[in-house]
Structure 1
Amino acid sequence: MRRYARAVYGLLAALAVIAVLGLSGWLHAPADCAGPLSGVSEREVAQTQGAQVRTQSETDVRVQAGPEAASPSGSTSGSGEPSALVALEVINLLKNVYVSPIDVEALLKAYDERHSIPDMLAVLNDPYTRYMDAEQYRTMQDDMRGTFDGIGITVGIRDGQLIVVAPLKGTPGERAGLRSMDRIMFIDGKPTKDMALDYAVSLMKGKRGTEVVLGIERDEGGKRRSFDVKVIRDTIRVPHVASEILKDGIGYVQISSFFGDDTMDSLNHELDSLARQGMRGLILDLRYNPGGSFPLAIEVASRFLPAGSPVVHVVGRDGRKVTYYSSQGPKVTVPVVVLVNEASASASEIVAGALQDMKVATIVGVTTFGKGLVQTIYPLSDGSAVSITTSRYLTAGGNSIDKKGIVPDVVVSLTSSGGAQAKSDQEATQDLQLDKAVEILEAKLAARKAA
């Protein structure tokens, strides 16, 4: 079923942002990115091979200009660990920009005991303030651009075992025949049982044109089959926006994450295409969308809100509130329904919250993730970087959704049955949330016609 497949692919870049970003609390790993498929627990981590797709939500991610990567010998210890000077850089940044006052002495003590910046940051008890080494930072930048060299699959952890959540359409992983719920037992001969997700992803990524061999275990026809799959890596462009006309002029647009240099252009293109096809109502699918760029969220919301409408309020460490408003430009004027779920986080919550509070859309699904924080990414002198929580945000109506989420206007679970063992099973599964969105739009359109 094409419609259900859209929901599955949405899960895909979810997973991306971010392992390097990580959505702690959902997945231990935003980026504002990742989502469960039917049959995958909401609390399991998902990520796009190569584009980290985890759910953390470095959303609302802002990147602060900083120094270019320096020679490792300049500020890194011989062991390859960040030097004390880099740790002091991080402490200085926290002291000046962290959303709340910090205990400098506690941070120094933690670093002195462990000589580890991640362990030092653990003192803050803030899963979104995190250190990235130079390689992780480069990966995050790839994620934000929406391209990477890899095989193009979304992966997750289930019962300690690495699984394929979904292959990206048109990628080496799909062409090699990988399927949802395949268990990846080995990567180039390395066992994956209890392997860290980030490490598994790093093994599958690699230079375009190189080969990786995956040892796959698949349940098929009531039997368990083991075999190797050779995949040639390629440059993968993560599709962030997809659209189609479902029926009777009802358009459907899915935004899988708020990352990618061309995401807004893609959204504008898809909306214009739907309008040319006679769109009379629109479903905006933000399920499995872990978030991403704060400015992009405002741009997207501006397509739906009257110019000058509040989109989001940002509250800094001094308590001062700054309001961001929708801009001028083309607007969607047809009735709108927004689909959300427990994996909709951060930037996607900003958009859904604005459309709900300003009463321009009906929200359908289940309560969202609940990330009401904004991170800023600061490059460090050795080429690494730190993501720091610098502010909180309130939705357009002034509501705090952190750790609470957005409650839909119409609450509907995704499916009436679980299981996503194979494509045929997925096609047999009904997307109740999407069906409800269509039903609501049909009623709105009928009411308009009667009036």
Structure 2
Amino acid sequence: MDVKKRYLVVMVILAMVFGSILTYVGVEVFNIGQASNNDEEQSLISTDEDKQKVLEEQNEFNGFAKVVQAYNIIEKNYFEDVEQSKLVEGAIQGMLDTLEDPHSVYMNKEMVEQFNQSIESSFEGIGAEVSMEDGQVTIVAPIKGSPAEDAGLRPKDKILEVDGESLEGLDLNTAVSKIRGEKGTEVELTILRAGSSDPVTVPVVRDEIPVETIYPEVKTVDGKKTGIIQITSFSQNTADEFNEALADLEEQGIEGLIIDVRGNPGGLFTSVEKILENFIPEDQPYVMIQEKNGEKIRYYSGTKEKKEYPIAVLTNQGSASASEILAAAMKEAGYPVIGQTTYGKGTVQKTIQMGDGSNIKITIYRWLTPDGKWINEKGVKPTMEVEQPEFFYTSPVEVEEPFEYNMNDEKIANVQKMLEGIGYDPGRTDGYFSKQTEEAVQAFQQENDLNATGVINEETGQKLQQKVIDAVRNQKNDKQLQEALNELY
């Protein structure tokens, strides 16, 4: 191995062990390498406890030396040239993989740039938060108004392929790099939806994704003004924007408030803290942090009084992380939480720079509810469970061959649920294309300026999917929102 390569190996091992060695006292550092017969050095190790520490540190060093040995074996013996940077990054990723924590990840320089773009004013892509679950890339939530939402993607959808290329075996960063791309380009995602056995291919046209996080509105129901604030994620400016929106709604004389964190994948811990300070009294904690040593720290706000008007929170399966902190705090403070059980992410991560533009995002502690419950992989259960209409959970329409009378297919069942959801009666929803289903299709085609054949071709399928998306966005069909409005008054 030439001098340059030897130098690289030395730097790798130093980088890996330096952080842990640096905190040891001087005698421990100098006795890490090997035992010595020097009387002066031996005198420094004065007790059995000190000797045991040195032996443990020697074993730790030998463990890291094994990594360098593996590097040398690969570099000298592998039958093809291997990029040194790939070996180093592979070693780092391998260590993180052993943690079996999908939220602790290595990000190379390119991934760091993409991550930074995603928390700035805008970025280009499909607009969906994803995570790795059981080795599969899984959508946490599509961003409001994004191409991912327009294409009908939903929380918990598994992305199996990108442009026909399997994602199996890839780490999350590599998978994301294949999904993202320039505005105007199309990517085909093969997804598997919970409850469905057949994957479907969904074309998504990438776009510029604005990072807007607060969407306030006033809705008057039975003469009462209700403020609704939807929070789509918790970014750097979210808390300030929320507080401004809340002040504006209060000036308009709202008599109740709904905080909507459905489809919110989370974000900055400090952001949700500032929002909760509006609602949680000073004598109640709004979150509890459990550190590595088991110590639990409670966080309190400075709020002396609750708001005078009633407040409710909306959640669903796409409400994750910081959204769950908010939902749990509000629930345990006595506010109603309406919708579905949340995603179930009970850990907090910190991003640490590595000096060359790369980062490690690593889990640093658990967060617990104010009552000390850990919701990881369980989620926050609402005080009132409300499911959306069945057509909200249908899969994107995929028509390889036209569907027509007397056919039987799972994809036809999906279409029948869509038709029923938007007001056409297919007679059945079990996948058999009956005469009544044919009549329902004809009625849909006639009302949407399509050739009324009663056969579902690609054009009819696309139009049907768009109508379903429009119906999902219509607040009149939103059972969770309607129930929250009823609960307030």
TM-score, normalised by the number of residues in structure 1: 0.61
Name the counterpart of 1:257: 233
Letter in 2 for 1:253: I
Q: For residues 183-240 of structure 1, give each alpha carbon's deviation from its aligned partner in whole angstroms, at most 9, with x where no partner exists.
A: x9999xx655658675565357567xx76355799xxxxxxxx999987x65x43121
Structure 2: distance between partners of 1:206 and 1:334: 45
Pairwise CA distance, 1:344: 1.8
Name the counterpart of 1:437: 484
Contact 1:394–1:401 (CA<8 Å) still a contact in 2?
Answer: yes
Structure 2: distance between partners of 1:204 and 1:88: 35
| Equivalent residues in 2 for 1:403-418, closer than 5 Å | 403-417=377-391, 418=393
- Considering fraction of residues, name the structure with more helix: 2
Pairwise CA distance, 1:335: 0.7
Cα pair distance change 1:384/1:161, threshold 3 Å: closer
Q: Does 1:267 pair with 2:242?
A: yes
Q: Does 1:238 pair with 2:222?
A: no
Q: Does 1:131 pair with 2:103?
A: no
Secondary structure in 1 matching 2:323: helix
Name the counterpart of 1:301: 276
Letter in 2 for 1:287: R
Cα pair distance change 1:303/1:435, threshold 3 Å: same
Contact 2:152–2:469 (CA<8 Å) still a contact in 1?
Answer: no
Structure 2: distance between partners of 1:395 and 1:156: 24
Pairwise CA distance, 1:301: 0.9
Q: Does 1:212 pair with 2:185?
A: yes
Q: Which has the larger radius of gyration?
A: 2
Cα pair distance change 1:363/1:87, threshold 3 Å: same
Structure 1: distance between partners of 2:220 and 2:355: 54
Structure 2: distance between partners of 1:229 and 1:348: 27
Cα pair distance change 1:440/1:316, threshold 3 Å: same
Q: For residues 114-165 of structure 1, give each alpha carbon's deviation from its aligned partner in whole angstroms, at most 9, with x where no partner exists.
A: 852111222222222222212222322333x3434315544879xx9999x9
- Considering fraction of residues, name the structure with more strand: 1
Pairwise CA distance, 1:375: 1.8
Cα pair distance change 1:108/1:438, threshold 3 Å: farther
Pairwise CA distance, 1:268: 1.6
Name the counterpart of 1:33: none
Contact 1:107–1:120 (CA<8 Å) still a contact in 2?
Answer: no
Higher relative contact order (CA 8 A, sep 6+): 1
Letter in 2 for 1:258: F
* Equivalent residue in structure 1 for 2:297, among 322, 326, 329: 322
Pairwise CA distance, 1:389: 2.0
Cα pair distance change 1:111/1:363, threshold 3 Å: farther
Contact 1:185–1:215 (CA<8 Å) still a contact in 2?
Answer: no
Secondary structure in 2 matching 1:377: strand
Pairwise CA distance, 1:380: 0.9
Structure 2: distance between partners of 1:162 and 1:317: 28
Count residues with an aligned counterpart.
340
Name the counterpart of 1:372: 346
Letter in 2 for 1:256: T
Name the counterpart of 2:414: none
Name the counterpart of 2:368: 394
Q: For residues 35-65 of structure 1, give each alpha carbon's deviation from its aligned partner in whole angstroms, at most 9, with x where no partner exists.
A: xxxxxxxxxxxxxxxxxxxxxxxxxxxxxxx
Pairwise CA distance, 1:355: 1.0
Cα pair distance change 1:88/1:406, threshold 3 Å: same
Structure 2: distance between partners of 1:186 and 1:123: 25
Contact 2:239–2:272 (CA<8 Å) still a contact in 1?
Answer: no
Q: For residues 403-433 of structure 1, give each alpha carbon's deviation from its aligned partner in whole angstroms, at most 9, with x where no partner exists.
A: 3222211112233333265331133343222
| Equivalent residues in 2 for 1:138-153, closer than 5 Å | 138-143=113-118, 145-151=119-125, 153=127
Contact 1:375–1:388 (CA<8 Å) still a contact in 2?
Answer: yes
Structure 2: distance between partners of 1:427 and 1:345: 25
- Identical-residue share of aligned pairs (%): 28
Secondary structure in 2 matching 1:124: coil
Q: For residues 288-308 of structure 1, give each alpha carbon's deviation from its aligned partner in whole angstroms, at most 9, with x where no partner exists.
A: 222211111211111212245
Alignment root-mean-square deviation, CA: 4.6
Structure 1: distance between partners of 2:386 and 2:6: 52
* Equivalent residue in structure 2 for 1:277, among 232, 239, 252: 252
Contact 2:125–2:179 (CA<8 Å) still a contact in 1?
Answer: yes
Cα pair distance change 1:200/1:340, threshold 3 Å: same
Q: Does 1:427 pair with 2:427?
A: no
Secondary structure in 2 matching 1:401: coil
Pairwise CA distance, 1:241: 1.3
Structure 1: distance between partners of 2:151 and 2:261: 23
